[in-house]
Amino acid sequence: MIENEKNFLKNLENDLSEDYEEGEFISILIDRDRDLYDYDVLTINDNKIDKIKTYKLPKAISKEWIVKKVNTFQTEQSSYKNLSDVFSKLIKKDVQFYPTTYGIGTYTAFDSIEKLEAKLQPILKLLDKNKIDFKMEFSEAMNVYRIKVGKSSDNLSKINKLSTSSKIKTM
């Protein structure tokens, strides 16, 4: 067991938050109160990617184990955030399209099929050209058309390589 757990966690939080901008932080909590769980838990709150996750603690924990969990958590979560960041750079500021954690969304209210197809063409062309896997669907309310990109590591690598020179010019 880690001695002086509270100071250890505070130092670890500071080390992990060094690359964060002002107002962003990571917090790590080891909960042994057993109010919510029948076991000890590690809770990671990453304000930078706006996510929280809880892990069951093993009998013996170490700094390496905690850092590995934090890194795994950040990798899993940041892949979704990265999509929004990358696509926001690629899409010209436009009320028709918006970057999302799943890919790209577009409002379809009052669009004919022909207009929707024409509107989607530049985006679909870019994704096809770069061999990025995606699927398309309407929202349940049918007012948003979603271009959902695959989250495989190969696909995410292709997406992150898209440059600002690939800027999508929409209608």
Query: In this model, does residue 38 exceed pLDDT 80?
Result: no
Instruction: Say whether both 88 and 56 belong to one domain.
Output: no
Instruction: Say whether both 38 and 100 belong to one domain.
Output: no
Instruction: Say whether both 100 and 162 belong to one domain.
Output: yes
Residue 70 falls inside a structural domain: no
Q: What is the pLDDT of residues 98-116, one digit of tens each?
A: 877 788 888 888 889 899 9
CA atoms within 13 A on the CB side of 96: 16
Q: pLDDT confidence of 164, banded at 50, 70, 90?
A: very low
Residue length, the chain? 171
Q: How far is CA 57 from the centre of its chain?
A: 25
Residue 79 falls inside a structural domain: no
Reduce the secondary structure of 86-146 to three states and give it as a string: HHHHHECCCCCEEECCCEEEEECCCCCHHHHHHHHHHHHHHHHHCCCCEEEEECCCCCEEE
Express as a percent the part of the chain with pLDDT over 70: 78
Name the amino acid, one letter, at 110: F
Residue 78 falls inside a structural domain: no
Q: pLDDT confidence of 133, banded at 50, 70, 90?
A: very high
Residue 10 falls inside a structural domain: yes
Q: What is the pLDDT of residues 16-37, one digit of tens each?
A: 777 777 777 777 777 776 666 6
Residue 75 falls inside a structural domain: no
Instruction: Say whether both 95 and 47 belong to one domain.
Output: no
Query: In this model, does residue 165 exceed pLDDT 60?
Result: no
Q: pLDDT confidence of 171, banded at 50, 70, 90?
A: very low
Strands (E), 8-113: 26-31, 41-46, 51-56, 97-99, 103-107
What's the Cα-to-Cα distance from 123 to each of 15, 101, 103, 139, rounded to whole Å? 40, 16, 11, 18
Instruction: Show the domain range for 111.
Output: 84-166
Q: What is the pLDDT of residues 39-91, one digit of tens each?
A: 778 888 877 666 777 888 887 778 888 888 888 777 766 655 557 677 777 77
What pLDDT, on the 0 to 100 scale, is given for residue 1? 45
Instruction: Say whether both 104 and 154 belong to one domain.
Output: yes
Instruction: Say whether both 52 and 100 belong to one domain.
Output: no
Instruction: Say whether both 112 and 160 belong to one domain.
Output: yes
Instruction: Say whether both 105 and 142 belong to one domain.
Output: yes
Number of structural domains (the chain) is 2
Residue 71 falls inside a structural domain: no
Residue 69 falls inside a structural domain: no
